Structure 1
């Protein structure tokens, strides 16, 4: 029994070491396609933090999923997407050095995503977001340079403070419509 556990741990350590060495040197995938995913020009490297670059990432629509083209659904999707981005900023800032995805497609929603040098940029059919991130202790401060909710023609700018430990969010800014 001990030999099986030691063998399993040894295999796991070797596997993790190989993955680490491959990511440390960087890996380039020119094209790969699955039934649910299509990747073009994907580059992943682990430096101090993770670097991800891609020309095109497409998640193919599930055949069983039904999508309504109702305007309220799109508006709700924009609000949910913005909330999801805000909640995940702390992870992005902690683990990622650079993300550059020129074309990110999910269910006919096309996005351009860029995170580099503490600047974060997202542009799609529903919203445009450009902000600068700064870390101060356990807080992440986001200087929102421009947030445009396209469905509402609503422009927002200001500062967002995120306490990563308590998950407390504080926004000070202004909105124009």
Structure 2
């Protein structure tokens, strides 16, 4: 649990469960695009998604030789959307493994943990980001499970969940997610 170092009288009993996460994980963007680590886009970046934590596998597209991976913006915990522009900021030491998956093409960041498969939609508005995340999940179901449009509509319409990951920056980040327990009921083609 974390508590305020100098709380007001009204917040003296306010304690928050610590759930360490990295706000910033990304690779160099496409083309000759200049960027700051505070930006986010199809390359990841300052996604501030509170599920990017221990036990989560993050998949990022590679646009440049060597990918040029960067990480940072450690948070002890963060609410959905990073509404105030910050969280419970902290320094942290992290260990991670990087694998190159050849032959896979990603248009946007994806992630998975023990419970969910997640696809990011990052755009200039909440509606655009939601649409991008939904379209990304639809394409993933088509690619991985070879589902028809009608089958995809049934899965998404009955089971899709969304997280609002980032709303404070110029780009909005919405995450579409499907429970792995439901996906386990759908046979994958051989």
Q: Give your verdict on TM over 0.5.
A: no
Between structures 1 and 2, the one with greater strand share: 1
**Which interval holds the TM-score relative to the shorter structure?**
under 0.3
- Scaled by the length of structure 1, the TM-score of the pair is 0.26
Larger Rg: 1
- Scaled by the length of structure 2, the TM-score of the pair is 0.25
Larger relative contact order (CA 8 Å, sep ≥ 6)? 2
Between structures 1 and 2, the one with greater helix share: 1
